[in-house]
Amino acid sequence: MKQILDSRGIAYEYFENPSLEAAKCLADNSIIGWFQGRMESGPRALGNRSILMSPLREENKDLINRCVKYREAFRPFCPSMLYEKRDDYLVNSRDERFMVSAFVVHENKRNKIPAVVHVDGTARPQMVKQASNPRYYDLIKAFGDITGEYVILNTSFNVKGEPVVCAPREALRCFYDTGIGVLFIGNYKITKQRTPQFI
């Protein structure tokens, strides 16, 4: 990865713990691209090819739609949450790893994470276990340790009409072409200090 970034003149920082740094960016309300490990399969982004944002502000769902996803405003976003915190947020919860089932959100939490609560008071969560995705788990936990809410907004790393990014080059192109503020590829953090001549 370093060779790819250096060959394109892209400025970056290296972090031993990118999850903590990403959590700080989310707490500052940045939109981040999160590109980690192997490519996922299926219709959902589950923490390896994701666009992430804080769920704490209701307007964040509109911000992502307007600046990154370019999709219909009525389409909701899903939360990723720590598996062991699921009962704090959801009524009658059970293990749900793939964002395919809707659960009622506790009334006292709906205004805490409004960007991922649907108009009917439900959410379609991904419950993250440390054993299944330790780096993504650590990100959510670090965000919760900072903000008090162990939930983040997660959507697929692509724009409307395009496939989910697969390779680093595709992630870089999406990053520079959209309103994503910070990109994490592996241990590398990239910001838009300057636009590279080629990707």
Q: What DSSP string describes 94-127?
A: ----SS-S-EEBPHHHHTTSGGG--TTSEE--EE
Both structure tokens of 3: 């060779």
pTM, 2 dp:
0.96
Cβ neighbourhood burial of 168 (10 Å; 0-12, 13-18, 19+) = middle
pLDDT in tens, the chain (199 residues): 899 899 888 999 999 999 999 999 999 999 999 999 999 988 789 999 999 999 999 999 999 999 999 888 888 999 999 999 999 999 999 999 999 999 999 999 999 999 999 999 999 999 999 999 999 999 999 999 999 999 999 999 999 999 999 999 999 999 999 999 999 999 999 999 876 766 6
User: Span 15-188: which CATH code?
Assistant: 3.90.870.20
Q: Where are the domains of the chain?
A: 15-188
> For position 42, what pLDDT does the model report?
81
Q: How far apart are CA 169 and CA 5, in angstroms?
A: 10
What residue type is 135 in one-letter code? Answer: R
pLDDT of residue 127: 98
pLDDT of residue 71: 86
Return the pLDDT at 191.
96
User: Which three-class secondary structure state does DSSP give residue 149?
Assistant: coil
